[in-house]
Amino acid sequence: MKLAIFGLGKMGGNMARRLRRAGIDVIGYNRSSDVVQKIAKEDGLIPASSPEDAVKKLSSPRVIWLMLPAGDATEAMIDQLIPSLSKGDVIIDGGNSNYHDSQRRGEKLAKHGIRFTDVGTSGGIWGLANGYCLMAGGDKDTIEIITPALKALAPSADHGWAHVGPIGAGHFTKMIHNGIEYGMMQAFAEGFALMKGKKEMNLDLAQISELWRHSSVVRSWLLDLSAEALKSDQTLDNLAPMVPDSGEGRWTAIESIDQGIAAPVIASSLYMRFASQGKADYGHKLLSLMRNAFGGHAMKSTGK
């Protein structure tokens, strides 16, 4: 099989390497050519100087895997590719796009006879070594075309990838996956904060996190990563208490509202990320003001 990957960042670059190491020919395009040349030298990637150059180096049916930021960047690239592609060619969106966008893009590309599949991709920076979890949305014939790539990227040919439904289903399931991830991370963070706060017990958080990794019902990859980090630093004094949100937690919370299905853990974990970004500061100031106004409680000044 031969395909092109556009976007050779942390995930896209490692995906290109894993595909190459599985014997799949990969053409790579990235706005910055340095990473293209690096992967070409180390893993035999075929460099492309432009999207059009990449298309010329592919044979029908051409397969192009986009690992670009969700939103305008992905939309613009798809629009740029349409004139260069032919009927039966395949565009894969492996980024964290909104599933509504994927459904719309699938309809748009179908009018040009171009196939589309959305592949929710999980695995982060560890995917090169461990493989990726791949959730593919699209029709059966399109998925069959890209199956060799899915098998190469997954932990094994039989596990870690699946055709989960029609166009949009791949990004929908990845969205829910990330919403669950928000809740799990928040629960671990709160639990460890409570243990750290119990000063009189002088708990060794590295020891406890390692203990929980074995036969505990809360064992998980997130716990594995936490245990590894806590081995070297339990105070975390050098870290700012700010956690960004990538967008998928928001979309999951919105989906729960649209469906009228309660998802309080996911929603709460999203709100905690907002709070960490300073977006609750004004509300906290007003709370302090109200306590002072009705009860004469002291307020803490910033000194400004």
Q: Does domain 2-167 have CATH number 3.40.30.10?
A: no
Q: Which residue carries 């709460």 as its tokens?
A: 268
**Taking a C-beta distance cutoff of 8 angstroms, is the pair 157, 151 a contact?**
yes
pLDDT (average), residues 81-97: 97
Active site amino acids: 174, 181
Q: What is the rounded CA–CA span in Å between residue 166 and residue 238?
A: 45
Domain ranges, ordered by start, for the chain? 2-167, 175-291
- 126: pLDDT strictly greater than 80: yes
Q: In terms of pLDDT, which residue wins out, 297 or 267?
A: 267
Average pLDDT taken over every residue of the chain: 95
**Confidence grade of residue 70 (pLDDT, cut at 50, 70, 90):** very high
pLDDT digits (tens, 9 = 90+) for 34-44: 999 999 999 99
C-alpha separations of 156 from 18, 128, 130, 134, 147 in Å: 12, 12, 9, 11, 12
pLDDT digits (tens, 9 = 90+) for 238-274: 888 889 888 899 999 999 999 999 999 999 999 999 9
Q: Do domains 2-167 and 175-291 have the same CATH topology?
A: no
Q: What is the rounded CA–CA span in Å between residue 2 and residue 64?
A: 9
pLDDT reported for residue 245? 87
Pairing of strands 115-122, 133-137: antiparallel
Buried b (16+ CB within 10 A) or exposed e, 89-121: bbbbbbbbbbbebbbebbeebeeeebbbbbbbb
pLDDT reported for residue 125? 87
CATH of 175-291, one of 1.10.1040.10, 1.10.760.10, 2.40.37.10, 3.40.640.10: 1.10.1040.10
Q: In terms of pLDDT, which residue wins out, 164 or 302?
A: 164
pLDDT reported for residue 130? 94
pLDDT reported for residue 257? 97
